[in-house]
Amino acid sequence: MPDYGEYEKAMRPEDITRLFVERSNAGDATGVAALYEENAVLAYPPGGQTVGREAIRELWEKVLAARPRFEPESPLPTLISGDIALTATLAKDGAGARAQVLRRQPDGSWLRLLDRPEFLQPTR
Give the model's pLDDT for residue 46: 83
How far from each other are the two terminal CA atoms of the chain, in whole angstroms? 36
Query: Can the peptide bond before residue 77 be classed as cis, meaning omega within 30 degrees of 0?
Result: no
* pLDDT at site 40: 98
pLDDT of residue 2: 84
Q: What is the pLDDT at residue 61?
A: 96
Please state, in angstroms and rounded to a whole number, the distance separating the CA atoms of residues 66 and 99: 24
SS3 73: coil
Note if the pTM is more than 0.75.
yes
User: Running along the chain, 124 residues long, what does each successive block of 10 average in pLDDT?
Assistant: 87 94 96 98 92 97 93 91 95 83 97 89 54
pLDDT of residue 91: 82
